[in-house]
Amino acid sequence: KAGVTQTPRYLIKTRGQQVTLSCSPISGHRSVSWYQQTPGQGLQFLFEYFSETQRNKGNFPGRFSGRQFSNSRSEMNVSTLELGDSALYLCASSFPPREIPDTQYFGPGTRLTVL
């Protein structure tokens, strides 16, 4: 099976702009989670989508939003970018038969730089 794919891999934006990142999960996986990774803060959970519904949410401001489509593909949007949003954004998919998170299969990430 193909792994989790994320596009774009690299992105440079300026403050105040908005950005949309895309994630295609492993075929058959219905759960998609997003994480922000920075050197100082480690892996921070943004949100999880399951069957097009946001199931869990981390402690990020409303500028961070996401959605999931019927084919399980997911997008993440960040509006009004700030310098502190520069990070590696990781998407992970899982195949949870239960209602709790399962093994996370990570994509390669999108490296976002905000100037």
Partner 1 sequence: GQQVMQIPQYQHVQEGEDFTTYCNSSTTLSNIQWYKQRPGGHPVFLIQLVKSGEVKKQKRLTFQFGEAKKNSSLHITATQTTDVGTYFCAGISHNTDKLIFGTGTRLQVFP
Among 19, 31, 33, 23, which residue's Cα sits nearest to residue 3?
A: 23
Determine how many CB atoms are found less than 10 A away from the CB of residue 69. Answer: 12
Beta bridge partners of 110: 89
Q: Does 99 bind partner 1 (CB under 8 A)?
A: yes
- Minimum CB separation of residue 109 from partner 1 in Å reads 6
Q: Does 45 bind partner 1 (CB under 8 A)?
A: yes
Q: Does 103 bind partner 1 (CB under 8 A)?
A: yes
Among 77, 84, 69, 71, which residue's Cα sits nearest to residue 114?
A: 84
Among 19, 21, 24, 33, binds partner 1 (CB under 8 A): 33
| Closest CB to partner 1 among residues 42, 97 | 42
